[in-house]
Amino acid sequence: MSILIKKAIIVNHANISKEPQDILIERGVIAKIASKISDPADKTIEANGKYALPGLIDLHCHLREPGFEHKETIETGSRAAAKGGFTTIVCMPNTNPVIDNAKIVEGILKEAKRVGLVHVLPAGAITKGEKGEELSDILELKAAGCAALSDDGRTVYNSQLMRHALEYAKMANMIIMEHCEDPTISKGSMNEGYYSTLLGLKGIPDIAETMIVARDIELARYLKTRIHFCHISAKRSIELIRQAKAQGVAVTAESCPHHFSLTEEAVQSFNTNTKVNPPLRTKEDVEAVKLGLKDGTIDCISTDHAPHAREEKELEFDAAPVGMIGFETAFGLAVRELVDTKCITWSTLVEKMSFMPAKILGLPEKGEIAEGKSADMVIVDPQKEWVVKEETIVSKSKNSPFIGQTLKGLVETTICSGKISYQA
Which residue among 70, 193, 250, 394 contacts another protein (CB under 8 A)?
A: 193
C-beta closer to another protein: residue 234 or 416: 234
Residues between 51 and 110 with contacts to another protein, criterion CB under 8 A: none
Residue 195 or 346 with smaller CB distance to another protein: 195
CA-CA distance, 46 to 41, in Å (whole number)?
13
Where does this chain touch another protein (CB under 8 A) — which range of 106-114, 198-206, 295-303, 335-343? 198-206
- Interacting positions 289-328 with another protein (CB under 8 A): 311, 314-319
CB contact set of 31 (below 8 Å; sequence gap of 6+): 2, 24, 25, 371
Instruction: Name the minimum Å distance from CB 234 to another protein.
Output: 15
CB of 77 to another protein, least distance (A): 24
- Considering the rule CB under 8 A, would residue 199 count as an interface residue with another protein? yes
Radius of gyration of the chain from its Cα atoms, rounded to whole angstroms: 20
**Near another protein by CB under 8 A: residue from 38, 173, 200, 342:** 200
Helix, strand or coil, per DSSP, at residue 291: helix
Is 304 tagged catalytic?
yes
- C-alpha 337/C-alpha 261 separation (Å) is 7
| Neighbouring residues of 113: CB distance < 8 A, sequence distance ≥ 6 | none
DSSP 86-149: EEEEEEPS-SSS-S-SHHHHHHHHHHHHHH-SSEEEEEEPSBGGG-SSSB--HHHHHHHT--EE
Instruction: Rule CB under 8 A: say whether 196 interacts with another protein.
Output: yes
Query: Residue 199 Cβ, how far from another protein at the closest point, in Å?
Result: 6
Instruction: Pick the catalytic residue from 304, 318, 340, 381.
Output: 304
Determine if 222 is a binding residue for another protein (CB under 8 A). no
Q: How far is the CB of 187 from another protein (least distance, A)?
A: 10
CB of 359 to another protein, least distance (A): 39
What span, in angstroms and rounded, lies between the C-alpha atoms of 154 and 338? 29
Among the listed ranges 65-73, 194-202, 247-255, 337-345, the one in contact with another protein (CB under 8 A) is 194-202
| 285 and 259 Cβ atoms separated by less than 8 Å | yes
The single-letter code of the amino acid at 278 is P
Residues 128/134, Cβ–Cβ less than 8 Å: yes
Kindly list the residues in this chain that would bind another protein in the complex (CB under 8 A).
Answer: 192-203, 270, 311, 314-319
